[in-house]
Amino acid sequence: MNQSPPAFRVWALPGLPEVRPGDDLAKLIAAAVAEGGSPGLVDGDVLLVTSKIASKAEGRIVEAADREAAIDAETVRVVARRGPLRIVENRLGLVMAAAGVDASNTPAGTVLLLPEDPDASARRIRDGVRAALGVEVGVVVTDTFGRPWRNGLTDVAIGAAGVRVLDDLRGSVDAHGNALEATVVAAADELAAAGDLVKGKAEGLPVAVVRGLSHLVPGASGGGAEDVAEGAGARALVRVAADDMFRLGTSEAVREAVTLRRTVREFTAEPVDGAAVRRAVAAAVTAPAPHHTTPWRFVLLESEHARTGLLDAMRDAWAADLRADGFTEESVAKRLRRGDVLRNAPYLVVPCLVTDGSHTYPDERRGAAEREMFVVTAGAGVQNFLVALAGEQLGSAWVSSTMFCRDVVRRVLELPEDWDPMGAVAVGRAAAPPRPRPARDADAFVSVR
């Protein structure tokens, strides 16, 4: 006997009145169903509720003569900006335009904020509908998003209850018997988009119903609803920063990368991908340089033998200098421990300055200025390098020690005599999050003429 092909049905729920602060959305939805203007609700149906009416019912209407101030208050991080448009991460972790602050369909002089906790909003609606109608439904609270690399808007899930928000297909096989290893479907987002096709944006139909996908509503078949509803919610759809490969990109994100570049002094033992370091070098050599020169060289110490050989030789040279300066053995040992940040890192890089192409001047003043230009461009290259490492989620520490024993470094690493080591960069995965850094007032570093 042939089975019917998979199918589902979606329709908008008519009969909902204008929602006002303090309204019980579940009761309004139940009343609209009871009026008979729709096919009713059965176990396994999914209610798709526009976040705007959840916000109105929860009193998330605020007076705001300036919408921008409301956006500021809801923003955690600016991701991108173009003219007046801002793409930001809001306090819910959602990356979207204007932090979800809406000035449409709300009285003049006010704006509408997203629900305080959209998952909790969905749970209240689900529980209320179950109490009023005796049916086990899933609820998805939706909002409209733009998407990177795609034109147009679509609804996505920002809150959910009683719904499997992620349909994990890993471990199953496709029609050809191939194992699925990475397929996790954003089921709640797909439901939200389906509902938006019938709700529309201007028809005054803020709720839709999907029927025929009861496998996404575990409670409909008895048991399991609480785990789905109280556990994941739509929050599970928000990718955490550590897994976000596209967190950086625009000019605002570049500034964020600069902020993320922190000196790391404790590293894990996890090996460093040499390809990531080479990508950071590619960023480094885009720095400005005088006379169309390329004065950077980066020596990558990828073997433990190379790192240990260099650090041991530098330690011996430093100890000899300290003893010659009259330091006690205790003081010498204490100062040598400062080099542990390099010794404990799984990867070292020695940036070098090469002044090929520099101009020769007969007087000392201009000759010193010429070298300073090259030193400055070396620093610019290293800064590019450090920021690019942060973009690769690698921590770093730029330590000046090689500058005090350049002859030793050149000898151990067999470098040309005209390569000037400009410190050493420890590279690796940070063993712990960086400590909070006190904010610096940019105006304190500015002098205007």
Q: What is the pLDDT of residues 327-378, one digit of tens each?
A: 999 998 888 887 788 999 999 999 999 998 999 999 999 999 999 999 999 9
Q: What is the DSSP string of 85-104?
A: EEEEEETTS-EEEGGG-B-S
Residue 248 lies in a domain: no
Is the same domain home to 177 and 286?
A: no
Burial of 155 (0-12, 13-18, 19+ CB in 10 A): buried
Which of 158-162, 178-182, 196-200, 437-441 has the least mean pLDDT? 178-182
pLDDT of residue 155: 95
pTM score of the predicted model: 0.64
Q: What is the pLDDT of residue 221?
A: 64
The values of phi and psi at residue 40, to 5°, are 80, -175
Residues 274 and 398 in one domain: yes
End of a domain among 214, 243, 272?
A: 243
Domain edge (last residue) among 243, 276, 292: 243
Closest CA to 428 of 311, 257, 302: 302
78 in any annotated domain: no
Q: Distance between CA atoms of 302 and 348, rounded to whole angstroms?
A: 7
Pair 171, 200 in one domain: yes
Residue with tokens 């890192």: 345
The neighbour count for residue 27, using CB atoms within 10 Å, is 14
Determine which of 36-45, 131-140, 188-197, 419-428 has the lowest per-residue pLDDT on average.
Answer: 36-45
pLDDT bin (cut points 50, 70, 90) of residue 226 is very low
Instruction: Compute the average pLDDT of residues 229-241.
Output: 78
* pLDDT value at residue 64: 79
Residue 404 shares a structural domain with residue 326: yes
- How far is residue 355's CA from residue 323's CA, in Å, rounded to a whole number? 33
Asked whether residue 148 carries a pLDDT value surpassing 90, the answer given is no
Of the pLDDT bands very low, low, confident and very high (cuts 50, 70, 90), residue 257 is: low
Please name the residues in contact with 163: beta carbons below 8 A apart, sequence gap of 6 or more.
Answer: 46, 138, 139, 140, 187, 188, 191, 216, 217, 228, 229
List CB contacts of 77: < 8 A, sequence separation 6 or more.
88, 89, 256
**Considering the chain, what is the average pLDDT of its residues?**
88
| Contacts of residue 170, Cβ cutoff 8 Å, sequence gap at least 6 | 180, 181, 182, 183, 184
Is there a domain that residue 190 lies in?
yes
Q: What is the CATH number of the domain that holds 302?
A: 3.40.109.10
Asked which of 198, 217, 243 is the last residue of a domain, the reply is: 243
Identify whether residues 194 and 121 lie together within a single domain: yes
Same domain? For 200 and 167 the reply is: yes
**pLDDT of res. 225:** 44
254: in domain: no
Least confident interval from 155-159, 240-244, 305-309? 240-244
Same domain, 170 and 229: yes
Structural domains counted in the chain = 2
In terms of domains, do 189 and 226 share one? yes
pLDDT of residue 248: 59
Give the pLDDT confidence of 48-84 residue by residue, as tens digits: 999 999 999 999 998 877 788 899 999 998 887 777 7
Q: State whether 182 and 225 are in the same domain.
A: yes
Where residue 224 falls among pLDDT bands split at 50, 70, 90? very low
Least confident of 28-32, 58-62, 369-373, 388-392: 388-392
Q: Are residues 198 and 331 in the same domain?
A: no
Residue 73: inside a domain:
no
Top-ranked range on mean pLDDT: pick from 14-28, 198-212, 426-440? 14-28
pLDDT value of position 193:
95
Does 92 fall in a domain? no
Q: Provide the pLDDT for residue 227.
A: 43
Give me the CATH number covering residue 175.
3.30.1330.100
Q: Judge whether residue 91 has pLDDT over 60.
A: yes
Q: For residue 360, what are the domain limits?
A: 261-445
Residue 71 is assigned to a structural domain of this protein: no
For residues 335 and 103, give the distance between their C-alpha atoms in angstroms, rounded to a whole number. 61
Reference 260, options 386, 73, 170; nearest CA is 386
Positive or negative: CA dihedral 311, 317, 321, 324: positive
Shared domain for 178 and 132, answered yes or no, is yes
Is the domain of 385 the same as that of 314? Answer: yes
Residue 100 domain flag: no
Alpha helix stretches (DSSP H) within 200-349: 225-227, 251-260, 274-284, 304-324, 329-336, 340-343
Q: How distant is the alpha carbon of residue 124 from its chain centre?
A: 30
